[in-house]
Amino acid sequence: MNFKNILLLFFTIVSVNLGVAQNLVTNGDFSNYNTNCNDYSFAFTTTSNNCVPNWNSFSGSPSLHGVSSNPHAWMWSGGSTNHYESIQTPIAFENGKCYTVSFKVRTNDRGNQDISDHGTINVRAVNFQNGTILNEQTIFSNTIGTYLGNNWHLVTTTFTPNANYARLLINPLYTGGVKQAEMAIDDIVIEEQNLEVNFHFEDSDSNTKDTFCDGETILLNGSASQGEVRYFIDAWRRPTGSTGNFQYVSGLGWTTGQLQTVNLTTLFAGNNVNFEAGYEYEIKVALGNDCIGWLPLTKRFTVLPNVGLDSNFIMNTSCAGNGTITVQVTATNPNAYQWWGLFETPTSIANGGTQIGPIQGGTTVTFSGLSRTKNYYIKHGVWKDSDENCYPWQETRKIIPSSVSWAGYTTDFALSVSSNFNGQVSVNVQADSNPVSVYHGWQVYDVNHNVISGFCCNSDVASFQGLLINTWYYVKHGIWNDCKEWQETRKYFRVQIQESENNIGGFILETKEYPFEPDSAYTKEINELVNSGAIYELYEEYERENSSDDKNTDLSKLEMYPNPVQSGSTLTISGSFNDPIKSIELVELSGKSTPLSFSVQKENILLEIDSRVSKGMYFVRIIRNSGEVITQQLAIQ
């Protein structure tokens, strides 16, 4: 394929993809020809023997020159018989449509000095009948001498048929005597120049509309228009509701190019014109091309004033029966569209975050199942549709409180004492009832604040054994859930022997109030422990291991002493172990674990408690080679 073919294919592909006018002339650059033709002549028919496809001679014997670097048609006219050569090709010209016609022409005759520059170049639209011209209309005609020389001259013109024509006819014509006029022609392009004006107004989200709010961006989308090479825009206005004449505002004149999407707000702002509320605007758009100079279309839009809506809302929180937070919100202004969203954030802010659940509508909405250990906010938006005013989106955001109490909240509890037939004394505790689900933490301390024993987390009752007679202790009882953080009550107690005639070996329980006001550091520490779930997981492991029947170690024969143990001293664990020990850990209530070094002496395990270990409640976790885990409570003093 020669370079000329490549160029033609390229422009054809570009024209198709861009949706511009198509060349109605097939093989208008004569690059497609039959190389088997010796003289490269144009035949009188369209048979396969034609040397130049899609082209035929009408008269004479026109030929193809410039092969193969730049093939083009060559014709002559003259002599005493008024002879002329001509070529033709099928083109369906439609009555009333506008076409642009372009071609390149020159008139050198390859060295013949007897040429005349008084002939004409003629391009016509024709209809044939029985081999003769039935009717015709001139597209272009000019003196041939204008194009003398070796250089090509580009000719461009427009043509509007007065009837339907089927053929394009090209020829030189000279009737002045024995001399002859000659012409060469190439790169013939004929395009239909349709012109259609169409546009609409839209907002910045590409929504088609003719009513805009004050300050809203107004776009004119003219992509549906066709055939234009320039466009014109001006603006007029009148007060909304008026039937009077529109008054001129501003005009932008002619702009070269195709009308696509135009930002009217920005465009007219460049002329110090703003689209103001309370006016109806009329926008006139006119298109033009080489055939049609002015094709207008006028459309209107209205700019409405903005009216603010109240987006505030009332938020009520409560604790549900399952111990989670419920939030009910009610819009202050019910006469608007409502938008409600719940968002969770990493910190207590009302911005960003992850949406929880679907967006909801309605005047009153409820969000449930929330936890105080997470951060939430509610986003509420309102808007309204109207033909008289604009009610744009307004929003309010509120952070949900991290702690929600309830009616009947209490951390109080009752103590009682009991004994069995073996004379073992138990101190029993029973939490007062709360109307919602809560977790319970129980611990017994001596008066020096050393932990003796503890239970957690799902039982409102507990029992403590092995306490010394006539010794003061205190019970710490804390409750918490997803609604409210840890709060606690403490009570002193001691067990005394009551000797009477009817109660030999009996016991009585003496109690007194424990005045306690926790400081912020204590409250923060224990709530971090509770919020992390560490306290729950540790006690759950302890209770599971001590109640499981599927274990190799008989816990009833397992003894850990002394308990409480002093830091810096030795802890002994004795019992029957059926599987070697892999490791032993000291676990804090926060979940942090520290490996302990140990030695085995027969059925005893000896553990050294570092003197730097703080006093408090711990767990000893024993891990066997088999994977069995044994967990025991330990108090360190």
Domain count, the chain: 5
Strand, helix or coil for residue 267: helix
- Residue 9's pLDDT is 44
- Residue 288's pLDDT is 93
Residue 548 has pLDDT above 60, yes or no: no
Q: Using one digit for the tens of pLDDT, what is the confidence trace for 177-213?
A: 777 888 999 999 999 888 899 999 999 999 999 999 9
Q: Are 155 and 102 in contact (CB under 8 A)?
A: yes
Q: Are 486 and 526 in contact (CB under 8 A)?
A: yes
List C-alpha distances in Å: 536 to 409, 532, 541, 579, 591.
22, 9, 9, 28, 10
Q: Using one digit for the tens of pLDDT, what is the confidence trace for 584-627?
A: 988 876 667 889 988 888 788 899 998 888 877 788 888 888 87
Q: Are 557 and 575 in contact (CB under 8 A)?
A: yes
Where does the pLDDT of residue 140 fall: very low under 50, low under 70, confident under 90, or very high at 90 and above?
very high
CATH number at residue 628: 2.60.40.10
Strand, helix or coil for residue 624: strand
> End of a domain among 264, 287, 304?
304
Please check whether residues 241 and 347 belong to one and the same domain: no
Please check whether residues 88 and 147 belong to one and the same domain: yes
- Residue 614's pLDDT is 84
Q: Are 75 and 172 in contact (CB under 8 A)?
A: yes
What percent of the chain has pLDDT above 90?
Answer: 55
Q: Are 520 and 440 in contact (CB under 8 A)?
A: no
Where does the pLDDT of residue 556 fall: very low under 50, low under 70, confident under 90, or very high at 90 and above?
very low
Two tokens at 263?
A: 């930002």
Distance CA 457, CA 481 (A): 11
Residue 3 has pLDDT above 50, yes or no: no
In a domain, 187, yes or no: yes
Distance CA 597, CA 509 (A): 42
In a domain, 33, yes or no: no
Question: What is the average pLDDT value for the chain, to the nearest integer?
Answer: 86
> End of a domain among 304, 323, 358?
304
Position with higher pLDDT, 178 vs 269: 269
Position with higher pLDDT, 109 vs 440: 440
Q: Are 33 and 40 in contact (CB under 8 A)?
A: yes
- Residue 557's pLDDT is 59
With 0.85 as the threshold, say if the pTM is over it.
no
CATH number at residue 375: 2.60.40
List C-alpha distances in Å: 499 to 345, 494, 506, 507.
63, 16, 6, 8
Q: Could you tell me which of 375, 388, 469, 491 has the C-alpha nearest to residue 424?
A: 469
- Residue 503's pLDDT is 53
| Rg, the chain, Cα only | 50
Please check whether residues 69 and 122 belong to one and the same domain: yes
Which phi and psi (to 5°) does residue 535 adopt?
A: -65, -40
Taking residues 270-298, what's their average pLDDT?
94
In a domain, 362, yes or no: yes
Where does the pLDDT of residue 415 fall: very low under 50, low under 70, confident under 90, or very high at 90 and above?
very high
> End of a domain among 488, 515, 542?
515
Reported residue count of the chain is 637
In a domain, 620, yes or no: yes
- Residue 531's pLDDT is 78
Q: Could you tell me which of 396, 405, 402 has the C-alpha nearest to residue 344?
A: 402
The DSSP annotation for 428-479 comes to EEEEPP-SS--EEEEEEEETT--EEEEEEES-SEEEEESPPTT--EEEEEEE
Where does the pLDDT of residue 427 fall: very low under 50, low under 70, confident under 90, or very high at 90 and above?
very high
Taking residues 479-503, what's their average pLDDT?
85
Cα separation of the two ends of the chain = 99
Please check whether residues 69 and 189 belong to one and the same domain: yes
- Residue 7's pLDDT is 43
Please check whether residues 213 and 338 belong to one and the same domain: no
Please check whether residues 372 and 447 belong to one and the same domain: no
Q: Using one digit for the tens of pLDDT, what is the confidence trace for 461-477?
A: 999 887 888 899 999 99
**Structural domain span for residue 581:** 559-636
Distance CA 598, CA 584 (A): 8
